[in-house]
Amino acid sequence: MKILAYAPHMPTTRSIRQQSFAALPLLTCLVLASVRSATADAPRPAAGNGTASTPEAATTDQIVQASGKTPKAARFVRAAAPKIAGLAEGGFSPVPAFSESFDSGWEQAPGPWQIATWRQNKTRMARERAVANEEGQLVLTVAAGTPPRGGSIQSKEEFGYGRWIARVRPSSVPGALNSIFTKDWDDKSTPGDAHDGRKAEVDIEFLTHTFGDETGEVHLAIHLLRKHPLWHVDIPLDFNPATAFHEWGFDILPDKVIWHVDGKQLWRWDYTAEDAIDPGYEFFFNAWTNRKWILGPPATDADYLIDWVKFYPLRQPDP
């Protein structure tokens, strides 16, 4: 399979406003929020031993210290949530330009994916914690106990505007963070420097300690190079994400980002004159842990199951 990029890079210097069908009263506090959410800071080998003297460790400490202050939205109710546009209505290709089903043995030849073997957010990633099971599901494992150990993969190529959908089941074991996200880490159009992207990021994150009986939360965030995060929110759910597979995703568009689950809109973030998400980014799944915000490490191994992922590019207008 080949991953395709559908749009060139463009400047990322715009300001923010965001909208939600569920929690409009929170807009003012969300615009002012400046808390760093938890994602893979360093999709590359990290030097040092992860102590507070290293840049990677310092960034993680800032994330953990601030993330408990994330604003909380009104409860998401599936029956009341609006449907997202269909592929044709939304202007997307009717067939995915990229898809991955993670067949058994996938890790032996991951093709367009890179399996992390370095540290992300002070959690050591390894190949043995990113493997496909016999059911054809990628399993990213946060290992029990210390030191913090997890699993992570990222695309080797970049993507443009379009719709991402991933059928996933986060772990039910408290003390792990499971994620779906994009990040412009490496500008593939410029050879040499592997870390020269604009760092724009779109996040879906599950903190497994928030899951309960028919309840849970999902953490959404936007990051830009000039501000981490630019915006973020915790959304209480009317279901437990760990009890079954659900189709989570986001539409990265020329004027906004829309997050969704099972075809229902979770939130919308609109661009304005200064802040936007560029086309030209990598795609990631990861699983990690930390003692404070995530309340880890887990007491037993925490398995994050990923059944498949698909990308439907936004169709280019006719010339």
Q: Provide mean pLDDT across the span 48-61.
A: 44
- What is the pLDDT of the chain when averaged over all its residues? 82
- Structure confidence at residue 58 (pLDDT): 47
User: Each residue of 147-191: pLDDT tens digit?
Assistant: 999 999 999 999 999 999 999 999 999 999 999 999 876 555 666
For the chain, which residues make up each domain, given as ranges? 16-313
- Structure confidence at residue 34 (pLDDT): 38
User: Each residue of 241-293: pLDDT tens digit?
Assistant: 999 999 999 999 999 999 999 999 999 999 988 889 989 999 999 999 999 89
Task: Give the Cα separation of 170 and 178 in Å (integer).
Answer: 6
User: Which stretch of 136-150, 214-228, 297-311 has the lowest confidence by average pLDDT?
Assistant: 214-228
Task: Give the Cα separation of 318 and 150 in Å (integer).
Answer: 45
Task: Please check whether the domain covering 16-313 is classified as CATH 3.30.1490.120.
Answer: no
Per-residue pLDDT band for 223 (boundaries 50, 70, 90) equals: confident
User: Each residue of 78-127: pLDDT tens digit?
Assistant: 999 999 999 999 999 999 999 999 999 999 999 999 999 999 989 999 99
Task: Give the Cα separation of 217 and 70 in Å (integer).
Answer: 12
Task: Give the Cα separation of 155 and 123 in Å (integer).
Answer: 20
Q: Which residue has the higher pLDDT, 316 or 24?
A: 316
- Structure confidence at residue 101 (pLDDT): 98
Give CA 214 to chain center in angstroms.
23
Kindly report the pTM of this predicted structure: 0.81
Residue 1 has pLDDT above 50, yes or no: no
Task: Give the Cα separation of 175 and 149 in Å (integer).
Answer: 12
- Structure confidence at residue 224 (pLDDT): 82
Q: Which residue has the higher pLDDT, 220 or 194?
A: 220
